[in-house]
């Protein structure tokens, strides 16, 4: 039991715990009601088929926005979109210092607008020595390998103990770009004592060790060498190590690398700025593609997750201004399918196959390795850090539960499964859940950020799945008669269903005409009567509940 006024050390995930993406974590320290807060990561996720218009999503940060005067800083563990992509949209409401490694800062600066509140953000570099004091939080950054440079785990210390927040990581003996993970630093932390490990759960169902990036070069050379015409390799735009492997495959097969996709170009520029990819031939802009022989071109392309507006889907639809694919060309998918994207990827691959393009995936060779820890890597992490308690993050609920079971059964570690909004007290005393705070998701709507459970998205979704009806009712208040009823619909009636339209008009006339003298002509009463009549007809005839708008014109 916490005594009033006694300091406590808290962990509170607002995103990324119970889902893939949208990572946003908070650490709190201080007495109840007067905590100071540290934010770790602020990322985006991507919408699915059931969320029309919600292509980019992020966690609702209202909890910390309401307490922003107590927020000491935001620290970014690395440059992936699911860890920093929401900063341009949420930072204007936070206005806190932001710290990042050189590569993550280079990525973030390219995402910030040239005007508006986000343009005021000046990300600061994490110190080269890896130590930083932010209010009551003493941070030690630990270099880790991942699928992009400069991924960091961090030890977060307060007067009540030490937590290791892993971020995204794996143990790769040959990462191609950047150094190997600093296992010595992790072991030293374990020797000194770690109270809690907040750990990546993405690959907890995968046995063994996650493969090394260095093992992909030869298989890629073999696959690209077998291509007789234009070859395309699609991968995650931020996977700088994979871009290095693509460049080596191009060099070995006598091809030039052409970049295709805005995000890939941004990440490539950031990598060159930070001193990466300097040992391979420069990549070319996609405007150069038409000048190169098809058999001497290797296209590095975004869009392997089937995103409708990404470069590869535009190419598959023959809508790209610079690049096209013909029968006999080859597309190599050098990435895994993010859970939930399977239908979109299948649509993309079907579109390519219809063009006569050969599609190559992991079934055709060793062309992708994950950037996340499998069970063998997790075992090594637990052996190094030896935490008192494990709190899995970065995964769906099934990942968190399996990770907790793994840590408990394989390493005897106490575990807590904490989904978004679950406040965990790490110290003093045994770690335990002490509160739950409201959470939610936001959607990027052009320049706006709106709540996914708000009226805008709810009404749009209803209209998409049930159609919409617009009714105009002209009434004569003096004669108490309905002069005219006009109805138009979208996405509800098919050709030849004029009888249903007439049925709706008749139903509105009857409903409005049957109103009492006091209600007749009243906009609210007339509108609700007409709306109920439309819903009754469409429910009985079509089993649909359309979005209904009513305009009342009284004369």
The pair of three-digit structure tokens given for residue 427, joined into one six-digit string? 């110290």
- Structural domain including 223 reads 213-364
Q: Based on the fold, state whether residues 26 and 112 are members of the same structural domain.
A: yes
Where do we find the tokens 């706006």?
448
Q: Based on the fold, state whether residues 172 and 311 are members of the same structural domain.
A: no
In a domain, 110, yes or no: yes
pLDDT for residue 1: 44
Q: Based on the fold, state whether residues 144 and 224 are members of the same structural domain.
A: no
Q: Based on the fold, state whether residues 111 and 223 are members of the same structural domain.
A: no
Among 364, 380, 405, the domain boundary falls at: 364
pLDDT for residue 523: 87
Among 334, 364, 394, the domain boundary falls at: 364
Closest CA to 132 of 142, 141, 144: 141
pLDDT for residue 50: 58
In a domain, 460, yes or no: no
Q: Based on the fold, state whether residues 260 and 381 are members of the same structural domain.
A: no
The pair of three-digit structure tokens given for residue 316, joined into one six-digit string? 């598959």
Among 416, 451, 486, the domain boundary falls at: 451
Q: Based on the fold, state whether residues 130 and 53 are members of the same structural domain.
A: yes
Domain CATH code at residue 523: 3.10.20.580
In a domain, 1, yes or no: no
pLDDT for residue 449: 86
Q: What percent of the chain has pLDDT over 90?
A: 79
Task: Report how far residue 462's alpha carbon sits from residue 478's, in angstroms, rounded to the nearest whole number.
Answer: 37
Domain CATH code at residue 393: 3.60.15.10
Which of helix, strand or coil describes residue 368?
Answer: coil
Q: Based on the fold, state whether residues 177 and 286 are members of the same structural domain.
A: no
Q: Based on the fold, state whether residues 292 and 388 are members of the same structural domain.
A: no
Domain count, the chain: 3
Q: Based on the fold, state whether residues 26 and 80 are members of the same structural domain.
A: yes
In a domain, 457, yes or no: no
pLDDT for residue 11: 98
In a domain, 220, yes or no: yes
Task: Output b/e per residue, 508-545; b: 16+ Cβ within 10 A.
Answer: bbebbeebeeeebbbeebbbebbbebbbebbeeebeee
Domain CATH code at residue 265: 3.40.50.10710
Q: Based on the fold, state whether residues 219 and 286 are members of the same structural domain.
A: yes
Which of helix, strand or coil describes residue 305?
Answer: coil
pLDDT tens profile 366-421: 999 999 999 999 999 999 999 999 999 999 999 999 999 999 999 999 999 999 99
DSSP, res 543:
S
Q: Based on the fold, state whether residues 250 and 329 are members of the same structural domain.
A: yes
In a domain, 105, yes or no: yes
Q: Based on the fold, state whether residues 234 and 356 are members of the same structural domain.
A: yes
pLDDT for residue 518: 84
In a domain, 462, yes or no: no
pLDDT tens profile 120-154: 899 999 987 789 999 999 999 999 999 999 999 99
In a domain, 31, yes or no: yes
pLDDT at 77 over 90: yes
């Amino acid at each position: 039991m916490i005594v009033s006024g006694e300091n406590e050390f808290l962990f509170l995930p607002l995103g990324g715990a119970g889902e893939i993406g949208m990572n946003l974590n908070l650490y709190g320290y201080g007495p109840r009601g007067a905590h100071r807060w540290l934010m770790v990561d602020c990322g985006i996720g991507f919408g699915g088929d059931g969320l029309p218009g919600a292509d980019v999503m992020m966690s609702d940060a209202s909890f910390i926005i309401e307490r922003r005067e107590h927020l000491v800083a935001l620290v970014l563990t690395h440059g992936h979109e699911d860890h920093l992509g929401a900063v341009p949209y949420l930072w204007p409401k936070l206005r806190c210092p932001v710290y990042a490694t050189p590569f993550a800062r280079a990525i973030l600066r390219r995402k910030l607008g040239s005007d508006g509140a986000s343009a005021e953000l000046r990300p600061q570099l994490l110190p080269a020595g890896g130590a930083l004091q932010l209010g009551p939080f003493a941070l030690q950054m630990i270099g880790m390998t991942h699928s992009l440079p400069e991924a960091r785990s961090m030890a977060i210390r307060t007067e009540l103990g030490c937590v290791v927040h892993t971020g995204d990581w794996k143990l790769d003996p040959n990462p191609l770009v950047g150094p190997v993970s600093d296992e010595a630093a992790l072991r030293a932390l374990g020797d000194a004592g770690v109270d809690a490990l907040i750990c990546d759960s993405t690959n907890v169902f995968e046995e063994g060790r996650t493969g090394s990036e260095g093992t992909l070069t030869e298989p890629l050379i073999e696959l690209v060498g077998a291509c007789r015409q234009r070859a395309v390799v699609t991968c995650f735009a931020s996977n700088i190590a994979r871009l290095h492997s693509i460049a080596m495959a191009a060099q070995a097969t006598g091809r030039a690398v052409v970049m295709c996709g805005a995000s890939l170009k941004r990440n490539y520029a950031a990598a060159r700025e930070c001193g990466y990819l300097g040992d391979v031939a420069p990549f070319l802009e996609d405007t150069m593609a038409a000048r190169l022989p098809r058999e001497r071109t290797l296209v590095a392309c975004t869009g392997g997750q089937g995103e409708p507006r990404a470069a590869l889907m535009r190419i598959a639809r023959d809508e790209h201004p610079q690049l096209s694919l013909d029968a006999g060309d080859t597309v190599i998918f050098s990435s895994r399918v993010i859970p939930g994207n399977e239908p979109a990827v299948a649509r993309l691959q079907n579109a390519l196959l219809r063009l006569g393009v050969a599609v190559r995936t992991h079934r055709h060779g060793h062309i992708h390795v994950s950037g996340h820890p499998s069970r063998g890597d997790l075992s090594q992490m637990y052996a190094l850090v030896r935490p008192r308690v494990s709190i899995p993050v970065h995964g769906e609920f099934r990942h968190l539960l399996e990770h907790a079971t793994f840590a408990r059964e394989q390493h005897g570690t106490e575990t807590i499964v904490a989904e978004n909004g679950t406040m965990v007290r790490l110290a003093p005393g045994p770690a335990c859940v002490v509160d739950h705070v409201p959470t939610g998701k936001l959607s990027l709507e052009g320049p706006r950020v709106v709540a996914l459970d708000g009226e805008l998205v709810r009404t749009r979704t209803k209209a998409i799945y049930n159609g919409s009806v617009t009714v105009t009712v002209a009434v004569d208040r003096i004669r108490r008669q309905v002069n005219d009823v006009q109805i138009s619909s979208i996405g509800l009636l098919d050709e030849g269903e004029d009888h249903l339209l007439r049925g709706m008009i008749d139903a509105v006339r009857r409903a409005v005409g049957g109103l009492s003298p006091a209600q007749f002509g009243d906009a609210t009463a007339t509108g609700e009567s007409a709306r109920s009549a439309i819903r009754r007809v469409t429910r009985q005839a079509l089993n649909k509940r359309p979005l209904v708008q009513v305009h009342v014109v009284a004369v």
